[in-house]
Chain A
Amino acid sequence: MHIPDGYLSPQTGGFFYLVMTPLWIAASRIVKRTLKARQVPYMAFGASFAFVIMMFNIPIPGGSTGHAVGGTLIAILIGPWAAMIAITVALVVQALLFGDGGVIAVGANCFNMAFILPFVGYYIYKLISVKSPKGSFRRALAAAIGAYLGLNAAAFFTGLEFGIQPLLYHTADGKALYCPYGLNIALPAMLIEHMLLFGWIEAVVTFLVIRYLQKEDPILIL
């Protein structure tokens, strides 16, 4: 899901920097107001967890690979705004140091994985888990469903960003300038692989960690 440089036009890359800037500013304001000093280690854990879990590439035999992000899990621990900052830091380090995801594309990658994913996942979790006790099975299930849908929402936007490229940017003879695959291919490709496999990985990882925290230290769960 890490869009490399070259697959998005500079305009698309710039657009997502513009979209993310007010969101990053809002996140730092909200986090400054609400984050307690004792939550900082959990924020560092969340960012480290996202960084390392994304290194576990899961293969579709003979096809492509994908991975979990842990975005919903992080949002359940520290809230979606702090999760946005945590995942942004992981994505920026991946892009700058390891070339995983582009630098021009990092705004778009942050929009998908640091904004859409934790927010969709967290609010679906909140909706399903409403009024359930901290240690309940329903709460863990809500986290898993949120994680599944959050990752798929991120995959949807990634497919959208890829898919609009050949529509908007092509040469006079119809050759693509950036991503060559349109919405009819990019959207189903991103959605199907995440609905069938990677979304389930995200759900299981989230479920297991939440289940563990429910036993260990249920107060940590938002």
Chain B
Amino acid sequence: MKTIHKLWILIAILAVLAPIGLVLPEHFRAGAAWGEWSIEEIKNLIGYIPKGLEKLSSAWSAPLPDYALKGQEGYPAIGLSFSYVVSAILGIIIVAVSIFLIGKFLSKKE
């Protein structure tokens, strides 16, 4: 098997295992990443919501926020893990296809 095919298998394995990155922080009661708190969390931290932060935080509403499928947000672990894997696969396909298109445009024939 070619190395690149083995590397794609690695990507597939990582996509399926991705919910580890969801369950572990939950298990160890780790909060949000530093500087990535929600509006409510920041209010708890400093006692007020910075005005500009409040305004800009909703500048963009992503279709699948936090890698969760519609209707699965806040579901218990299994539903969230499932949508996390689906998001991983979807993201990988979009990223890979974009690079193949960019690469086709940028790379030179040998």
A interface residue numbers (CB < 8 A to B)? 1-7, 9-10, 28, 31-33, 35-45, 47-49, 51-53, 55-67, 85-86, 89-90, 93-100, 102-104, 158, 162, 169, 171, 175-181, 186, 189-190, 193, 213, 216-217, 220
Contact = CB atoms under 8 A, between A and B. Distances in A.
Contacts of B59: 5-6, 102-104
A171 B48 CA distance: 13
Contacts of A158: 35
Pick from A48, A99, A177, A190 the residue with the most CB of B within 10 Å.
Answer: A48
B3 A95 contact: no
B94 A4 contact: no
Contacts of A4: 35-36, 57
Contacts of B99: 40, 43-44, 47-48, 85-86, 89
Contacts, number: 227
Contacts of B6: 216
Contact of B95 (A10, A37, A40, A89): A89
B21 A62 contact: no
Interface residues of B, number: 68
A163 to B, nearest CB: 10
Given A98-B87, A100-B66, A35 B24 contact: no
A61 B29 contact: yes
A73 B18 CA distance: 19
A15 to B, nearest CB: 15
Given A47-B99, A99-B65, 19 more contacts: A5-B56, A28-B106, A37-B107, A37-B110, A53-B14, A55-B84, A57-B33, A60-B30, A64-B32, A64-B34, A67-B21, A90-B95, A96-B62, A97-B64, A98-B64, A176-B46, A186-B35, A189-B35, A190-B34
Interface in B1-40: 3-4, 6-8, 10-11, 14-15, 17-18, 20-22, 24-25, 27-36
B104 A40 contact: yes
B84 to A, nearest CB: 7
B25 A65 contact: yes
Given A97-B91, A162-B35, A177-B50, A55 B21 contact: yes
B95 A47 contact: yes
A59 B1 CA distance: 36
Nearest to A33: B108
Most chain A C-beta atoms within 10 Å of own C-beta, residue among B21, B33, B63: B33
Interface string B48-82: 10111111111111111111000000000000000
